[in-house]
Structure 1
Amino acid sequence: MNGISEKKNLYREGRYQKMVEASADSVDADHNWLITLSDLLSLLLVFFIIFFAMSRVPGKKKESPIAINSSSTLSALVPNPQTKNPMKTIQKEMGATLMGLGLDDQVTIQAGEQELLIIIKENVTFHTGEAAILEGSQPILDTVAGIIKRYPSFQVEIDGHTDDLPINTAQYPSNWELSVARATSVLKYLISGHGLDPARFIITGNAEQRPLFPNMTPEQRAHNRRVEIRLRDHQAT
């Protein structure tokens, strides 16, 4: 009996041992994925450390792209009425406009720091000895009116000039009356035709007293018979 009991005990112990080993193998198999995940996380940490270290290595910095503001670009291309000295810009614009109209040879434009001088020849503006504005000069005066409207700080002086040939008519007893009448005609056209403020204007008549050339030839006299329009920026003074 003792022998049989002893065999049973050995059998039970052997079976129990196998169950323990089988259970241990099962536990090891269940935890194998944890080992793999741990290795993967370790590798990721190593790569992160290497990447961070490389990004901290001193080197040439990339230049930041220059931001371009479309509105500021347009304002540089399109003249601003508040610009301190827009005279050169106006000179170019007006010259291009008159060239397009085929009238650039009838007008001289001179730009200074704070003044624009527009000289209009008599032959496109008036008949000799008269002060009624000719239709051919209207596109020129319309262009000038547009500039005056665009720059409200500009004051305008209109000067009438004649040559030295005397005039003595019932309407114009001398060149003084004729030169003033011509300046007045230009003034009235700008005010009535374009609604400009009369307070911005000054007119003068100079007769033959301020010639551009000596009154020696018909060509020189033709240059002296003219109307000058001066635009002065009082805001810049």
Structure 2
Amino acid sequence: MMKLKRRADSSDDAGSWLTTYSDLVTNLLCFFVLLFSMSVVDSQKFESLSRALRSSFISRPGGGGSTLHHNMGKRILTVNFVNPDDTGKKVVDNERYIETAEGIILDDQEKIREEKYALVKEQLEQDFSELGISDLVDVIEGKDYILVRLNAQILFKPGSAEILEDGKNTLNVLADSLRAIDNQIIVEGHTDTVPINTPLFPTNWELSTKRATNVVLYLVNDLGIDPARLTASGCGEYKPIADNNTIEGRNKNRRIEFMIIK
């Protein structure tokens, strides 16, 4: 009877050990699945992960900082889990980890953005070269803009604001690149200092403004560019880029500019 009892006790102990081992394996599996799901952040998971990280690490005493940006693509992110009661150095370290991750993502986004504008500039230069008007066009990239400068003779006859057919072909090519981006565009008309005094254009203000307006209307009505992206402005002769005392300088000053705001 004693031996039977010992066997029963031994059997009960074995079953208890197996149950504990099974629970341990299950918990480990869940833990590693959790780590994997949090280590690879895609565009759909990033926002929810951002909120969770900020809530866990930053919203404690001494925390702070801005929210993470969404739609940043895939990124490997190392998370340092801490006890909810921990403060001080661990909280600061966790904030640094998150700020580092944000910095990496923002840097990548800025690189992609700059590459996009570089491609737009390159395409415009190639298109104008194929049209044979490179000597009458400048494409200039600044920190906050891309400037496309067209000599007025491409688009208009002297003293006129009606767009020439060759000018429309040039605008058609320009519009293809403008459709590839969604930035705001300021269209400016500029003249030289030679006075004009006609019923339609009493001064160069009216001429430059009407030219810019007609270009915008053509882009909107004929080429389908979103009017909310466009602004027409006339500057008259008051923003020269060359010397108005020479024929060459006056020719350069008669122009239409497209400032694409980054």
Separation in 2, partners of 1:132, 1:185? 7
Identity of aligned residues (%): 34
Question: Quick one: which amino acid aligns to residue 147 of structure 1?
Answer: S
1:143 to 173, 176, 179: 173
Equivalent positions of 1:158-197 (< 5 A) are: 158-197=187-226
Separation in 1, partners of 2:213, 2:224? 15
2:241 to 199, 212, 224: 212
Separation in 1, partners of 2:185, 2:211? 15
Q: Measure how far apart 1:132 and its partner are.
A: 0.5
Separation in 2, partners of 1:90, 1:113? 15
Match status 1:84 vs 2:84 = no
User: Which runs of 5 or more residues in structure 1 are unaligned?
Assistant: 1-81
Equivalent residues, number: 152
- Whether the 8 Å CA contact 1:118–1:230 is kept in 2: the answer is yes
Match status 1:119 vs 2:124 = no
Question: Quick one: which amino acid aligns to residue 198 of structure 1?
Answer: P
Q: Measure how far apart 1:173 and its partner are.
A: 0.5
Q: Which residue of 1 aligns with 2:255?
A: 226
Q: Could you list the per-position Cα deviations for residues 1-23 of structure 1 after superposition, in whole angstroms to 9, with x for gaps in the alignment? A: xxxxxxxxxxxxxxxxxxxxxxx
Match status 1:93 vs 2:123 = yes
Q: Measure how far apart 1:116 and its partner are.
A: 0.7
Separation in 2, partners of 1:98, 1:111? 16
Q: Which residue of 1 aligns with 2:75?
A: none
Q: Could you list the per-position Cα deviations for residues 137-196 of structure 1 after superposition, in whole angstroms to 9, with x for gaps in the alignment? A: 2232112211221112x1010000000011110000100000000001110110011111
Question: Quick one: which amino acid aligns to residue 91 of structure 1?
Answer: K
Q: Whose Rg is larger?
A: 1
Q: Which moved more, 1:136-145 or 1:196-205?
A: 136-145
- Whether the 8 Å CA contact 1:125–1:137 is kept in 2: the answer is yes
User: Which runs of 5 or more residues in structure 2 are unaligned?
Assistant: 1-110
Question: Quick one: which amino acid aligns to residue 197 of structure 2?
Answer: N
TM-score (norm 1): 0.61
Give me the CA root mean square deviation: 1.7
- Whether the 8 Å CA contact 1:124–1:137 is kept in 2: the answer is yes
Separation in 2, partners of 1:197, 1:144? 14
Separation in 2, partners of 1:202, 1:188? 10
Q: Measure how far apart 1:91 and its partner are.
A: 1.4
Q: Which moved more, 1:125-134 or 1:135-144?
A: 135-144
Question: Quick one: which amino acid aligns to residue 122 of structure 2?
Answer: K
Give the 4+ runs in structure 1 shifted more than 2 A: none
Separation in 1, partners of 2:112, 2:157? 38
Separation in 2, partners of 1:191, 1:223? 27
TM-score (norm 2): 0.56
